[in-house]
């Protein structure tokens, strides 16, 4: 089965630094998502992206976050000035179509640790 | 707004025993419900989904879940646990309004004891 690939698997950064988390969605998919999971908490939706623009975002996705599809294959999440509370597992996902019953394919995640 | 509650952050069963992972949902409109599994160092994989057809849904690896509207539940079961079932299991809900986000529960870690 095709896979969503995320790099790096682990990222350690200092508070206030910028980080970019990278994802390669499945090649024929058109809808892209970022989720995160803080240790011991729920997997939370951050943002969805379609046709080179954000289609929906949560209240978590504030001005320090941005997403981009720079080259037609990668899908990145940038955190401009990291805070301690940004430490979490970040999951990228993609789907071929939109719709409530559509299957999302998830990557294995990037564990971000902010020191 | 939709939400899911997974009862029990950690469930431990013996190999060969019944697996029961509980999920209750809240949704103001008919929901789509999902179970995802995460094996160590892997991404979330879809186990099964309920899309308003049959209330008993069969998924991969022998898992199944039953949608019970009266109980607002979508519990995941497997008759006989295998060591390879040890993983984190996530229940999730979504509505069919455009591209609404998938809303997850906290997850339940399943341990299988030999």
Banded model confidence at residue B14, pLDDT cuts 50, 70, 90? very high
Inform me whether the pLDDT recorded for A96 exceeds 80. yes
Whether B107 and chain A come into contact, CB under 8 Å, resolves to yes
Q: How confident is the model over B2-17, as a mean pLDDT?
A: 94
**Number of C-beta neighbours around residue B46 at 10 A:** 16
Inform me whether the pLDDT recorded for B79 exceeds 90. yes
Q: Which pLDDT score, from 0 to 100, does residue B98 have?
A: 62
Smallest Cβ–Cβ distance between A45 and the set B46, B97, B101 belongs to B101
Inter-chain contact A106–B45, Cβ cutoff 8 Å? yes
d(CA B100, CA A57): 10
Banded model confidence at residue B99, pLDDT cuts 50, 70, 90? low
Q: Which pLDDT score, from 0 to 100, does residue B27 have?
A: 84
Q: Which pLDDT score, from 0 to 100, does residue B97 have?
A: 66
Smallest Cβ–Cβ distance between B43 and the set A44, A55, A109 belongs to A109
Decide: A10 and A72 in contact? Cβ < 8 Å.
no
d(CA B52, CA A58): 27
Higher local confidence (pLDDT), B53 or A36: A36
Q: Is B49 helix (H, G, I), strand (E, B) or coil?
A: strand
Whether B74 and chain A come into contact, CB under 8 Å, resolves to no
For B81, the token pair is: 């646990």
Inform me whether the pLDDT recorded for B88 exceeds 70. yes
Decide: A106 and A4 in contact? Cβ < 8 Å.
yes
Inter-chain contact B94–A101, Cβ cutoff 8 Å? yes
- What average pLDDT is seen over chain A? 92
Whether A50 and chain B come into contact, CB under 8 Å, resolves to yes
Q: How confident is the model over B19-37, as a mean pLDDT?
A: 92
Inform me whether the pLDDT recorded for B31 exceeds 90. no
Rg (C-alpha) for chain A, rounded Å, is 13
A chain contacts of residue B97, beta-carbon cutoff 8 Å: 100
Inter-chain contact B49–A103, Cβ cutoff 8 Å? yes
Q: Which pLDDT score, from 0 to 100, does residue B40 have?
A: 84
A chain contacts of residue B42, beta-carbon cutoff 8 Å: 108
Q: How confident is the model over A73-87, as a mean pLDDT?
A: 96
Per-residue pLDDT tens digits for B46-66:
999 998 778 999 999 999 999
Residues in contact with A40: Cβ distance below 8 Å, sequence separation at least 6, in sequence order = B9, B106
For A54, the token pair is: 């954000």
Inform me whether the pLDDT recorded for A81 exceeds 80. yes
**Which DSSP string do the residues of A75-111 spell out, in sequence order?**
EEEEESS--GGG-EEEEEEEESS-STTPPPEE---EE
B chain contacts of residue A41, beta-carbon cutoff 8 Å: 106
Inform me whether the pLDDT recorded for B38 exceeds 80. yes
Q: How confident is the model over A32-50, as a mean pLDDT?
A: 91
Whether B76 and chain A come into contact, CB under 8 Å, resolves to no
Top residue of B5, B99, B103, B104 to mutate, by most chain A CBs within 10 Å, is B99
Inform me whether the pLDDT recorded for A40 exceeds 90. no
Q: How confident is the model over B73-102, as a mean pLDDT?
A: 90
Inter-chain contact A3–B44, Cβ cutoff 8 Å? no
């Amino acid at each position: 089965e095709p896979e969503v690939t995320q790099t790096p698997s682990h990222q350690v950064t200092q508070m206030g630094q910028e980080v970019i988390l990278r994802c390669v969605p499945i090649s024929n998919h058109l809808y892209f998502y970022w989720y995160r999971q803080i240790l011991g908490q729920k997997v939370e939706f951050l943002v969805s992206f379609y046709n080179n623009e954000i289609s929906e975002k949560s209240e978590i996705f504030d001005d320090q976050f941005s997403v981009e599809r720079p080259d037609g294959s990668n899908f990145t999440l940038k955190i401009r000035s990291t805070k301690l509370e940004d430490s979490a597992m970040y999951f990228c996902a993609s789907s071929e179509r939109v719709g409530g019953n559509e299957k999302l394919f998830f990557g294995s995640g990037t564990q971000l640790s902010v020191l | 707004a939709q939400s899911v509650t997974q009862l029990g952050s950690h469930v431990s069963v013996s190999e060969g025993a019944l697996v029961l992972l509980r999920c209750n949902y809240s949704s103001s409109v008919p929901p789509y419900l999902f179970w995802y599994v995460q094996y160590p160092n892997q991404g979330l994989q879809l186990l099964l989904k309920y899309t308003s057809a049959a209330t008993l849904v069969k998924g991969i690896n022998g898992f199944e879940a039953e949608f019970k509207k009266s109980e607002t539940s979508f519990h995941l079961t497997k008759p006989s646990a295998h060591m390879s079932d040890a993983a984190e299991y996530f229940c999730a809900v979504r509505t069919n309004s455009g591209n609404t986000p998938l809303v997850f529960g906290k997850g339940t870690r399943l341990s299988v004891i030999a």
